[in-house]
Amino acid sequence: MSVKAVEWAFRQELPHVRKFVLVALAEFADAGGGCFPSQATVAKRCGIARQTVNAAVADLKRDGLIECSIRRRSNGSDTSCSYKLMMNSTADPVTEDDTPCHRGRHPLSPTVTPPVLEDDTHNRNYNRKGNLKRNITKKRSTSKFDDFWKQYPKKVAKGAARKSYAKALKTASHEDIMAGVARYMPDPQFTCNPSTWLNQERWTDEYTQPHRQEGKRTSADRLRSALAGAAKAFDR
């Protein structure tokens, strides 16, 4: 980050959104005012939509405050645009029909020649809407749900169970849920559906083993005694 570029950006008298985008670009700029963050990165940093960044870049170009050009990887695919902050010169006014660098609209400018890598990790980490990070999280969650589904004794309504499992992970860990499944040994006729079991947080259930008190006869004991007494009476 160039402190000079940031100070220059703050000195410009601009509408709020336009100034915010200019400052964000300045935070990525080198000493010469060159930078190449993706529009998705700038949008995330400013807390605004990518389309709003696109419009602000067009306005900044018309104001003569920046120059913008496309960059391409060695395989010919497009990557993030390069920007040049016009800190030391007054650029000619930009025409009204000039728009920020869409594909093929602007020739590559010689003013900024940043290195371009085959694998642009910076852009991958901040791709549109953060899909990469969410996809990784989704794969991990799906793998854990498969473990739950494999161990749960009743396999019905898998789609509903998947949603309930994702909701359950907000209040409990995967390990706690699996431990609860391991303790769950219901009568086969009365086994909860997996989604119901998850929604009711049944992994927190406490199970106790019934025990027989010494000296106390159960109804089954009394029935057996009565049958035995009847059999003896009959033998007589």
Angle subtended by helix axes 39-46 and 50-62, to nearest 10:
100
Helices (H), the chain: 3-11, 16-28, 39-46, 50-62, 121-125, 131-151, 158-168, 174-183, 194-199, 219-235
- Residue 195: both structure tokens together: 């989604």
pLDDT value, residue 206: 83
Cα distance between residue 231 and residue 187, in whole Å? 35
Per-residue pLDDT of the chain (236 residues; tens, 9 = 90+): 788 889 998 999 899 899 999 999 999 989 888 999 998 999 998 999 989 999 999 999 998 999 988 888 888 888 888 899 988 864 444 444 444 454 444 444 444 455 554 444 444 454 454 455 555 555 666 788 999 999 899 989 999 999 999 999 999 999 999 998 888 887 777 888 999 999 999 999 887 765 555 555 666 677 777 777 776 666 66
CATH code 1.10.10.10 for 3-126: yes
How remote is the C-alpha of 175 from its chain's centroid?
A: 21
Cβ atoms of 108 and 70 within 8 Å: the answer is yes
Handedness of CA 216, 220, 226, 232 (dihedral sign): negative
The contacts of residue 225 (CB under 8 Å, 6+ apart) are 217
Q: Which of 74, 57, 78, 70 is nearest to 107 (CA)?
A: 70
Q: Hey, where are the domains in the chain?
A: 3-126, 130-204
Cβ atoms of 68 and 74 within 8 Å: the answer is no
Q: Which of 55, 58, 79 is nearest to 67 (CA)?
A: 58
- pTM equals 0.38
Q: Which of 118, 98, 12 is nearest to 55 (CA)?
A: 98
- Residue 157: both structure tokens together: 């309504």
pLDDT, tens digit, 9 for 90 and up, residues 57-66:
999 999 899 9
The contacts of residue 148 (CB under 8 Å, 6+ apart) are 161, 165, 174, 177, 178, 181, 194
Cα distance between residue 230 and residue 224, in whole Å? 10
Report how far apart, in Å, the C-alpha atoms of 110 and of each of 59, 82, 99 are: 22, 10, 19
